[in-house]
Amino acid sequence: MSQEPSRRRFIGAAGAGTIGTTVTVGCLRGSTDDETSGDPNGEGESDGDDAGDADDAVDEDDVDDPPAGEEDDAPSIDGGAIVFVYDDGPIEDYDAAFPVHQEFDAPASAGIVTEWMGREDYNGTDWMGVEELEELAAAGWEITSHTTAHTALGEFELVADAGPDDVRVYPEQRNHGFHHGHEIEVTDGEKSVRRTVVGSDHDDTGGYLEFDEPLGESFRAGETVERHPEDVMHAFLGESKRELEDLGFEVDTLLAPYDIADEWTIEIAREYYDGIANVRPGSMINDPDTFDPFETRRDYFIEFTSPETVRDELDRVAEEEAIGVVGAHTFKEEVTSDRIRETLEWVDERDLEVLTFRDAIMATAGNG
């Protein structure tokens, strides 16, 4: 490979992401109680109708040919492709990742938490504002929703019985305790109650959510889940999209906080988005022939892994002509410009296309 990196070819004018035309950080893996969540709040421990009558048929001679070169605007994954999806929207996306991606003429997708935009020194981190996002979008980056407040989606099964007088429930994961003040629905499919989370911690039973008032009903472990109610989910997912679109960005995709995206999440997200970038974390390999953007595999390419593993996975992407989806939190100490550049060099050596998540979805439309 020459010392001067070759300019990465990426085709996707329909997803290029310029303001006014078309304009996309996940969360730390292992959203368990014992690991940092990546949350700046510091709370953490993923039919058409019939064609019509013949009289309505369109004469092929009356159909205009597409403009010259338009066929070439379709995103390409020949030989394999890589999608970079950065988490949360810290200023390091702009200061550290963006310049390196520009060196390789390679786009990426940036997951934005709308309530964090433009905040300075919020839990020790500055966050990109509109000006930075506009520059990313103008350079071909995709702006993707990361919800309004980085609040965990999904539902979690209770691991301990709960009685009418209890103000605590014990879910398999307490991600919904990382943010207080939001309503939670506790349901076994027959009865449901809504309560507001006011606390979360551990006791002798395990990790718990604490509510503002007793449940008033009994619920059995293994038969009950706790989750954000449907209207709250719509607020998290719909409002973030609307806020970003009101700023002039085209937002087609979602990055799920804490890498938590289950059937409950997907059912509601489909109303707003064309795909979720991190439904199945732990592997970057996606088969383009069967690609379902609501079953996307994504893995981290600096955190939680080794350079050797990343190179091996990139080899697989090239050999299988797959779509590799990778992510990083650029505010983390180990995620440096040099490490990002190193990865892009490996991508370049394997002649892999670099696409946004939106473009990967467009390139595989109809394959799954």
Residue 124 has a pLDDT of 87
Nearest to 338, CA basis, from 363, 295, 302? 302
pLDDT tier at 287 (50, 70, 90 boundaries)? very high
Can you tell me the mean pLDDT for 186-211? 97
Residue in the structure block whose two tokens are 């946004």: 356
Residue 45 resides in a domain: no
Which of 192, 227, 262 is the last residue before a domain boundary? 227
Residue 69 resides in a domain: no
Three-class secondary structure of residue 130 per DSSP: helix
- pLDDT exceeds 60 at position 360: yes
Which of 199, 227, 255 is the last residue before a domain boundary? 227
Residue 78 has a pLDDT of 83
Structure tokens at 128: 């990109």
- Are 143 and 215 found together in one domain? no
Residue 5 resides in a domain: no
- Pairing mode, strands 297-300 and 280-281: parallel
CATH number at residue 312: 3.20.20.370
Instruction: Please give the residue range of the domain that contains residue 262.
Output: 13-36+75-151+231-363
**Which contacts qualify for 73-76: CB closer than 8 Å, 24 or more apart?**
73/11, 73/12, 73/13, 73/14, 74/11, 74/12, 74/14, 74/362, 74/363, 75/10, 75/11, 75/12, 75/14, 75/15, 75/355, 75/359, 75/360, 75/362, 75/363, 76/11, 76/353, 76/363
- Are 116 and 252 found together in one domain? yes
- Are 109 and 189 found together in one domain? no
Which of 170, 202, 227 is the last residue before a domain boundary? 227
- Are 345 and 238 found together in one domain? yes
Task: For the chain, give the percent of residues with pLDDT over 90.
Answer: 77
- pLDDT exceeds 80 at position 248: yes
In 150-239, DSSP assigns E strands to 155-157, 168-169, 183-187, 192-202, 207-211, 225-227
Residue 14 has a pLDDT of 34
- Are 256 and 325 found together in one domain? yes
Segment 38-89, tens digit of pLDDT: 454 444 333 333 333 333 433 444 444 444 444 446 566 888 999 999 999 9
Residue 324 resides in a domain: yes
Residue 73 has a pLDDT of 61
Segment 125-154, tens digit of pLDDT: 999 999 999 999 999 999 999 999 999 999
Can you tell me the mean pLDDT for 185-212? 97
Structure tokens at 4: 């001067």
CA distance 83 to 277: 9
Three-state helix/strand/coil letters over 284-325:
CEECHHHCCCCCCEEEECCCCCCHHHHHHHHHHHHHHCCEEE
Give yes or no for a contact between 143 and 137, defined as CB atoms under 8 angstroms apart.
yes
Segment 89-102, tens digit of pLDDT: 999 999 999 999 99
Total number of domains in the chain? 2
What residue type is assigned to position 352 of the chain?
A: L
- Are 242 and 216 found together in one domain? no
Beta carbons within 8 Å of 94's beta carbon, 6+ residues apart = 128, 132, 135, 136
- Are 281 and 336 found together in one domain? yes
- Are 134 and 256 found together in one domain? yes
- pLDDT exceeds 70 at position 19: no
pTM listed for this prediction: 0.82
Residue 77 has a pLDDT of 80
- Are 29 and 174 found together in one domain? no
- Are 332 and 300 found together in one domain? yes
Can you tell me the mean pLDDT for 231-247? 97
- pLDDT exceeds 80 at position 330: yes
Polymer length of the chain: 368
